Structure 1
Amino acid sequence: MTPEPSDSEHLHFWSFIDYAVARVSRELPGIDPLAMRLVFTLHRAANMVVYDLESTVHRPRGWSWPGFRVLFAIWLSAPVEAKKVAELSGMSRAAVSALVSTLERDGLVRKERAAYDGRAVGLSLTDSGQEAITSAFLAHNKREQEWAGALSEDETRTLIELLGKLTTHSVDFDARHRA
């Protein structure tokens, strides 16, 4: 059933969670509304943070969020194979390959064949790439601090522990994720 315009006009990004949980609970009484609210809220909060970081820090530098993730992984683990960057960034090998081509074209990443295996590609940052990622990360971390500023240090540590517990529990039911 499609809601009447008057039903949905009052909804916004956050109020939609309350509306969705209440409506689904009425229509499907066997669901777990608390679990639904947790995942819905977690998804929305994560998307908000990512969108904010991408639009305020990375897009002004000409990067996407995935582009930043690839540069960040290379920065901290270089020299590194492309397949390892895919694992560390939680992205597919194909996505990393496309991004690395763009980052190489932009003079930020260097690709070299690995000496131990001619098929393996080793990645590292150029001097320009090193300067770009360190500058970007300083701005990125400043924005992270602004987000974290809503919580006390103890609350931040508790949230980190709870998120760790949530992700660790995912192995109990064979959750799918990029590895």
Structure 2
Amino acid sequence: MTQEPEPLDVDHLHFWSFIDHAVDRASRELPGIDPLAMRLVLTLHRAANMLVYDLESTVHRPRGWSWPGFRVLFAIWLSGPVEAKKVAELSGMSRAAVSALVNTLERDGLVSKERAAYDGRAVQLGLTEAGVHAITTAFQAHNAREQEWAGALSEDEQQTLIELLGKLTAHSAHFDVRHRT
């Protein structure tokens, strides 16, 4: 007969302390798990979500954009004119999501769509003059916020973290990783 766990006082848990709780509880419940790997992934996921939420709420929502809307404009700005399917790949989004966002961004006067000369089925996306102004202005504010986040680390630490994340993502080639292409 298994012993019932003591009732949990969830009031003391918060966004970050939940990681400690989750690792501790999962380790007790499932002794074969790797708690360090669990802690790494939970911390990375929560940090990324926190950063994205902050950028979206402080920089992009005030401009009327969602995080995905920014990602689409950013991809078009830096690679356009570009096919919609390439924007989906570069932004890590589905083609359907990009299509819906592009319709909204086109309606707002930020994106233009044209049939590609080389293939009448392909759609080339570009930014309008208003779109270029909007994304460059937004990205300056976005980058200022990135600098605030990065300011917690020295330049050497930033470079080390970039290298470690690169190593982590490069390692994914060794197993069947699911991601948008």
| TM norm structure 2 | 0.96
Which stretches of structure 1, 4 residues or longer, exceed 4 Å deviation after superposition? Answer: none
Pick from 51, 55, 58: which aligns with 1:56?
58
> In structure 2, what is the Cα distance between the partners aligned to 1:3 and 1:101?
53
Alpha carbons of structure 1 residues 69 and 2: separation in structure 2 relative to 1, 3 Å: farther
Pick from 45, 48, 51: which aligns with 1:46?
48
Q: Does 1:114 align with 2:116?
A: yes
> In structure 2, what is the Cα distance between the partners aligned to 1:102 and 1:43?
29
Question: Secondary structure at the residue paired with 1:9?
Answer: helix
Question: Secondary structure at the residue paired with 2:165?
Answer: helix
1:22-37 correspondence to structure 2 within 5 Å: 22-37=24-39
Identity of aligned residues (%): 83
Amino acid at match of 2:53: Y
Alpha carbons of structure 1 residues 85 and 3: separation in structure 2 relative to 1, 3 Å: farther
> In structure 2, what is the Cα distance between the partners aligned to 1:8 and 1:172?
39
Q: CA deviation at 1:32?
A: 0.2
- Structure 1 residues not aligned, in runs of 5+: none
Alpha carbons of structure 1 residues 144 and 2: separation in structure 2 relative to 1, 3 Å: farther
RMSD across aligned C-alpha pairs, in angstroms? 1.2
Q: CA deviation at 1:174?
A: 1.5
Amino acid at match of 1:128: A
> In structure 2, what is the Cα distance between the partners aligned to 1:119 and 1:2?
60
1:55-134 correspondence to structure 2 within 5 Å: 55-134=57-136
**How many residue pairs were aligned?**
178
Amino acid at match of 2:57: S
Amino acid at match of 1:42: L
> In structure 2, what is the Cα distance between the partners aligned to 1:38 and 1:59?
30
Q: CA deviation at 1:81?
A: 0.2
- Structure 2 residues not aligned, in runs of 5+: none
Pick from 156, 170, 175: which aligns with 1:173?
175
Aligned to 1:146: 148
Amino acid at match of 2:160: T
> In structure 2, what is the Cα distance between the partners aligned to 1:78 and 1:43?
30
Residue deviations 1:40-71, cap 9 Å, x none?
Answer: 00000000000000000000000000000000
> In structure 2, what is the Cα distance between the partners aligned to 1:3 and 1:109?
56
> In structure 1, what is the Cα distance between the partners aligned to 2:44 and 2:101?
27
